[in-house]
Amino acid sequence: MKILILGGTRFLGRHLAESALQRGHEITLFNRGKSNPELFPDVERLTGDRDGGLSALDGRNWDAVIDTCGYLPRIVALSARTLAAHTAHYTFISSISVYADFGQPGLDENATVGKLDDPTVEQITNETYGALKALCEQAVETEMPGRALVIRPGLIVGPHDPTDRFTYWPMRVASGGEMLAPDGPGWETQIIDARDLADWNIRLVENSVTGTYNATGPARPLTFGEVLDVSQTVSNTLPEILWLPEEYLLTNGVLPWSDLPLWLPGEENEGADKVDIRKALAAGLAFRPLSDTIADTIDWANQRPADYSWRAGLKPERERELIDGWKALALP
């Protein structure tokens, strides 16, 4: 197949490109040429801008298009409209953040999505991101009715993750010593290795699958305690984990999801890590062992510069401050 990837040189995009190449497909990358331009030197690259700079796509045809980097419905609609007559199939990578209410577990693909009071807004914030993604989905279906595949991933993890939202934990465990963890080991989380997501996406494209799919994992419930346990086994370290209560952390200004990645306390987030993925499983979504994801993530993270600035997680001095504060409260 001839596959056009919009993006293709960052996190999920580069894994999609690698998967497609491994499966014998011919790929073209369309992007601005700014991120990792050294990747895939033997692959056709088209340079342009999705906001009015699509001329490099003129007169070209592909069997399928995968849109990895659409965030604004106006721009996604422009891309889909431009390519509608030049491809049979369009994948849009969306997000489970489209859902309006995470207060209940078991959200499936028919759950209500978020809406914006002003659908023309183009400021991407924590408050607008999910609803904008929902509008992007609608734009693709409008431009290519019956030919669109919409994938709604949860937290994507693994090598080359630019967010550090998962990487922080295996690396923190590997560094050993006394470490802070939120609440207790029993709360559930959901993640998906970018490589598993990419392989599955390419298989769906090969079979011209359409429709909407939640895509996170694993197939069984995963606790945060298991994430840390497997990280200890993989890194052969045994840190002293202090499970600090939710109330203490929140009172001291610790930010869920950013200061302590994966952690989403509160009844309003009860369903955020219990999304229904039965439809994706029935369509062949499969997962590598968690230990492989953690090992590969650690290997990749260890190759980054020593002065790398983390984008998520507690800084060591802040973690120490919180641990010392908690211990002081326990003194007689």
pLDDT averaged over 10-residue windows placed end to end, the chain, 332 residues: 96 98 98 90 96 94 97 97 97 98 97 96 96 98 98 98 98 98 97 98 98 98 98 98 97 97 97 98 98 98 95 98 94 68
pLDDT score, position 158: 98
pLDDT score, position 332: 64
Q: Which of 97, 81, 85, 79 is nearest to 5 (CA)?
A: 79
pLDDT score, position 143: 98
Residue written as token pair 């419930």: 221
Dihedral of CA atoms 166, 171, 176, 177 in degrees, nearest 10, equals -60
pLDDT score, position 330: 77
3-state secondary structure of 156: strand
Displacement of CA 111 from its chain's centroid (Å): 20
- In 3-state terms the chain splits into helix, strand, coil percentages (rounded to 5) of 35, 20, 45
Distances 160 to 44, 104, 152, 323 between C-alpha atoms, Å: 22, 32, 20, 30
Query: What are the structural domains, with CATH classification, of the chain?
Result: 2-158+191-215 (3.40.50.720), 168-189+219-269+289-330 (3.90.25.10)
Please compute, for residue 54, the number of CA atoms within 13 A of its CA located in the half-sphere on the CB side: 18
